[in-house]
A and B are shown apart, each in its own frame.
Chain A
Amino acid sequence: MAKNLEHQIDESEKLGMQIVKESEDDRLMTLSVGPQHPGSGHFRFTVKVDGDYVVYCDPDPGYVHRGEEKMCEYRNFIQNIPHLERPVIHDSANITYSYSLAVEELVGIQVPRRGQFIRAIASELDRQIYTLYWLAIYGIFLGHSTMFMWPTGDRELFIDLMDALSGARVTHAFNIPGGVRNDMPSGFKDKCLRNISYFEKRLREYEDIFYTNPLFIQRTEGVGILTKEDAIRLGVTGSVLRASGVPYDIRKAEPYDVYNEIDFKVQYMKSGDSLARAYVPLLDMKESCHIMRQLLDKMPESGEVRAKLQPNPKGPLGEAYRRVESGRGALGYYIVSDGSPKPYRVKISVGSFRNMIALPHLLVGSKLADMPSVYWSLNYWPVEADR
C-alpha cells in the first residue's frame, strides 16, 4: 500500500505537480502530562500522540528532588531518621526499616525480640496505609469517585493504630536503629485485631464495587502487558513484578527480623496487565492482615523493645546493604561508613524508580485513554523516586 503510494507520488512529480508530504511533526501532538496535571502527581512525562495512540513517552522525574542522600552525609545516624521518611510519608515505617537494618548491621546491634515484632507490625500497618492511598488514587484515575473515598476513609483504621503506637498519624519516625521508639500502649492488640477484621470485610466490598465492575475490567484487562521476561529484564519490583508472574517478595527471599517465623504466601498473578497490577496489591493487603494476626499472636508479652545505644553511635570502617519489602517493592539502603558518627555515603534504592523505567515500555503503543490505568498501576510514588 505504502509502496503504491510512493509510486503514485513519483508519477505525479514526474508530471510536474508539487507534492507537499505530510511531515511526522504535523501528525503528532506533544502533550506534557504534569507536573501540575491531575493525572500525574509531582512528576512530568511527555507523550506524543498520533490520534489517540501514544507513540513516544519520555518520563522526566526530579521535580521534587530534595537531596536526601546528600543530607544524610551531614547528620549522624540517629538524626537521619526524620528526614529519611519524607519521601514516602505514608510508608515511613518501611523506609526507615531498611535504614535501621543497615545501620544495625554496620554498628553491630542486636534488636530485642519484642522490638523486632513491634517493628514488623508497624511496617505491615504502614504497608496497608500506603496501599490504601495508592488504591484511592487508582480509583479516581479511572473516574471511580467512590473508590477514592472508601480507601481514604478506611486508611483511618490503620492511621489510628499507628497514632496509638507512635504518637503521630504519618511520619512517625518509629522504626529506629536498635528497635522501636517506644513500647505498645495497653489495649493495642485488641484494637488492632478488631480493626483488621473490619477491614477484611471492607476488602470484600472493594472487590464488589470496583474489582468486579465490568467497566473496570474492560479498561484494565489486557492493557499494558508486561511479560515475565520484560519484567525481569527491566528490573521492576514489588507488586508490578509479582503481577507479571514472578513470585518474588523480599520478606520471603531474604527474610529479615522475624519474617522467617511467619507463615504467608507470596501472592502473584500471571497475566501482567493493568488488571493484575491492580489486583496484586489487594491480595497483598489481605495477606498483610494475615501476617499481622500472626505477629500479634507470636509476640512475647513483655520485654525490652529497644537496644541500648551509645549516645552517638559510630560504626567501623565498612559498608552495609539491607533491604525490605515496602509497599512498592524492594527498598534498600547502601551505607558506607568511614568510622565517624556520620555516614560517608548513603544510597537509597527505591522501588518506585525501578517501576518507572517500565513506563515508556508499556505506554508506547497504547491509547491515551489507557495512560492513567497503566501509569498508576505501576505502583509508582513520584516523591520517592526523586528522593
Chain B
Amino acid sequence: MATYPQEYRFGKFIASIVWVVLWIVIIISLIGLPIIFVILFYVPLPPVNGEVLTPYLFLSMMVDPTRTLPIVHFIIHTDIFKVAVFPGFSFAALFAAVTIFVERKFLAKMQLRIGPLYCGKIEGILQLLADGLKLIAKEIIIPSGADKPIFWAAPIAFVATSAAVVALIPVAPGWVAANVNVGIIAVFAILGFFPLIALLFSWASNSKYPFIGGLRALHQMIAFEIPFFLSALSAVILSGSLNLTDIAKAQHPYWYIFFLPISAFVFFISSLAELERIPFDLPEAESEIVAGWLTETSGMIFGLIQLGSYVKVYALSALFVILFLGGWAGPQIFPKELSHGPTAGLMGLLTLQGVYNGVTVNAIFWFVVKTFGIIMLMLLPRGISPRIRIDILLHTGWYKLIVLTFINMFIALALIYGGILGPGGLLTGH
C-alpha cells in the first residue's frame, strides 16, 4: 500500500531544480570563471586546431560559441577521453547504473512488487545514488587474520579487470579505446583473471564460507570458460578475423545469429555463468554458504565488486552483440548532417557543426539498443529460475555445452567450405 509522500508536489520539485540551477549559475560566474581565466593566463596550453589556446581566444569563444566546437572535436578524439569517458569506463559505469535500476524495477514488476519508489521522487530513480552514498559511509570491516594487501587489492582489481574488458569493446566504427588485432583473444585472456581474483579474495578473507565460495567460483568458471571460448570461435571462423571491429563489419547483410544459433545460445548461457547470475550464482548462494566469496565484504569493498560485476554484464552483452547480432548495424534513422545552412553563430552551435556525425550516432544508437536488449534477457532468469546445483552445473558445462558448440562449429566450417560464407561467398556482403 505504498503511496507518494504527503507533501509531494510536482511544482515544488520543479522549483527545487530551478533553485539548484540558479545557484550553479551564480557560483560558476562568480568563482568558476575567474579561476579559469587565471589558469589560462598562467598555464601554457597545447595548440588546438592550429591555434594556441589563450585567454583572448577564450574570450572570443564567449562571443562566438561555435569556436568551441573544434576544441570539443579535439577532446573527444583524444585517447584519454576514449579510455575514461566514451566508449570506456564512464559509459560502461553509466550502463551499469541504468542496468541496476532497470533490474530492480523489472524484477519488481515481475514479482508483483513496486520496487524503489521514494528516492528521487520519480519511481525511485535516485535510489542507486542513495545506496552508493550509504556504502561509502559504511565502515569497512577486515576480518582478523585476513591477508590485508590482497583483501584491499582484490575489489580494485575486480573493477579494473572489468574496465579492461570494456576497453576492447568497439561501439561504432573507430570508437574503441584499444583496437587490437587479437581483440577476442585479449577479451578471453582478461576474463580469465576473474576466478583468480575470486579465489585470492576468498583465501585472503580467512573464513570458511568465502573459501567454499571461491572454490565454487573456480570450478564454475573453468567448466564454462571452454564452451564460452569455443562458441565465440565459430564467429571467428566465419569472419576470418580476431579483431572485434572486423567481426562486426563482416556480418554486413546477415547477422551470425542466423547461421550460429546454437553458438549464440551457448555463449549466452556461458556468459550467465561467467557473471555468476541466477541460475548460476552458486559462488554467492546465500542459502547454502551465506554470501559465498563475498561474505566478508563490507562497505565500499562490496560496492566496488558490485560495480565491477555490472560493468562485466555490459561488457559481455556488448560482446554478444558484436559476435552474433551484427554489432552496430541497423537502418539509418538519424540525419547524416543536422543542417546544410550557415555554419557560424548560434545555428552552427545548435547543429554541432564538425562534431556531429550521423553515421556514428546511428551506429552508437543501434549498439546501445541491442546491448540493452541482451541485458534485459540476462536479467530475466533471475525472476523465473531457481539456483542450479553444482554437479548439474559441471555436467552442463563439460558435457552438453561443449558438444553443442562443436556441432555449430562444424556447421560454420561447412558454410565456409560450401562457399556460402567467407571470402567471395554467396551471402558475403561487399
Residues on A lying within 8 angstroms of B by beta carbon are 29, 31, 37-39, 52, 139-150, 153, 209-210, 213, 215-216, 218-219, 367-372
Decide yes or no: A369 and B288 within 8 Å by CB, A146-B111, A149-B111 being known contacts: yes
**Contact at A143–B285, with CB atoms within 8 Å?**
yes
9-residue interface stretch from B118-126, B230-238, B248-256, B383-391: B383-391
Residues of A within 8 A of B113 (CB): 149, 153
Q: Does B6 contact A (CB under 8 A)?
A: no
Number of B interface residues in the complex (CB < 8 A): 29
Instruction: Specify which of A148, A150, A367 is in contact with B390 (CB 8 Å cutoff).
Output: A367
14 contacts between A and B (CB under 8 A): A31-B209, A38-B287, A39-B288, A52-B390, A140-B287, A144-B385, A144-B386, A146-B384, A149-B111, A153-B111, A209-B384, A219-B387, A368-B289, A372-B288
Q: Beta-carbon contacts of B99-139 to A below 8 Å, as 1s and 0s?
A: 00000000100111100000000000000000000000000
Q: Is the interface of A mostly helix, strand, loop or mixed?
A: helix
- Which residue numbers of B lie inside 8 Å of A, CB to CB? 107, 110-113, 208-209, 212, 278-279, 281-282, 285-290, 382-392
Interchain CB contact under 8 A, A370 and B107 = no
B107, B208, B287, B290: the one within 8 Å of A372 (CB): B287
The answer to whether B382 touches A218 (Cβ under 8 A) is no
Task: Tell me the bound Cα distance from A367 to B285 in angstroms.
Answer: 14
Query: When A and B form their complex, which 7 residue pairs have the shortest distance between CB atoms, in order from nearest?
Result: A143-B387, A149-B111, A144-B386, A39-B287, A142-B386, A372-B287, A141-B287
* Chain B residues near A218 (CB-CB < 8 A): 388-389, 392
Give the CA-CA distance A371 to B288 in the complex, in Å.
7
Q: A143 touches which one: B209, B212, B278, B390 (CB < 8 A)?
A: B278
Q: Which of A52, A149, A219 contacts B386 (CB 8 A)?
A: A219
CB of B391 within 8 A of CB of A367, answer yes
Of all chain B residues, which has the CB nearest A144? B386
Complex contacts, B386 vs chain A, CB 8 Å = 139, 142-144, 147, 210, 213, 215-216, 219
A144 to B383, CA, bound (A): 7
Collect the chain B residues with CB atoms within 8 Å of residue A31's CB. Answer: 208-209
Interface centre among B110, B281, B285 (most CB of A within 10 A): B285
Q: A29-B208, A31-B208, A146-B384 are in contact. List 9 more A-B contacts (CB 8 A).
A: A52-B391, A145-B383, A147-B386, A209-B384, A213-B384, A218-B388, A219-B389, A367-B389, A369-B288
CA distance A52 to B387 in the complex (A): 16
CB distance from A263 to the nearest CB of B (A): 34
Q: Which residue of the partner chain A has the closest CB to B382?
A: A145
Measured CB to CB, the closest approach of chain B to A135, in angstroms, equals: 13
**Chain A residues closer than 8 Å to B279, beta-carbon distance:** 143, 215
Question: Which of A38, A140, A369 gathers the greatest number of chain B CB atoms within 10 Å?
Answer: A369
- In whole Å, how far is B279's beta carbon from the nearest beta carbon of chain A? 6
Q: Which residue of A lies closest to B107 (CB)?
A: A145
In whole angstroms, what is the CA distance A276 to B186 when docked?
Answer: 48
B contact residues around A219 at 8 Å (CB): 386-389, 392
A37 touches B290 (CB 8 A): yes
Complex contacts, A39 vs chain B, CB 8 Å: 286-288
Given the known interface contacts A39-B286, A39-B288, the answer about A215 and B112 at a Cβ–Cβ threshold of 8 Å is no
CB distance from A148 to the nearest CB of B (A): 8
- CB of A143 within 8 A of CB of B287, answer yes
Q: Which residues of B contact A149 (CB under 8 A)?
A: 111-113
With most chain B CB atoms within 10 A of its CB, the pick from A29, A143, A149, A216 is A143
Q: How far is the CB of A34 from chain B (nearest CB, A)?
A: 11
Whole-angstrom CA separation of A29 from B207 in the bound complex? 12
Output the nearest chain B residue to A139 by Cβ-Cβ distance.
B386
- Most chain B Cβ neighbours within 10 Å, of A39, A141, A146, A367: A146
> Which chain A positions have C-beta within 8 A of B110?
146
Known: A209-B384, A372-B288. A150 touches B111 (CB 8 A): yes
Q: How far is B290's CA from A39's CA once the two chains are assembled, in angstroms?
A: 8
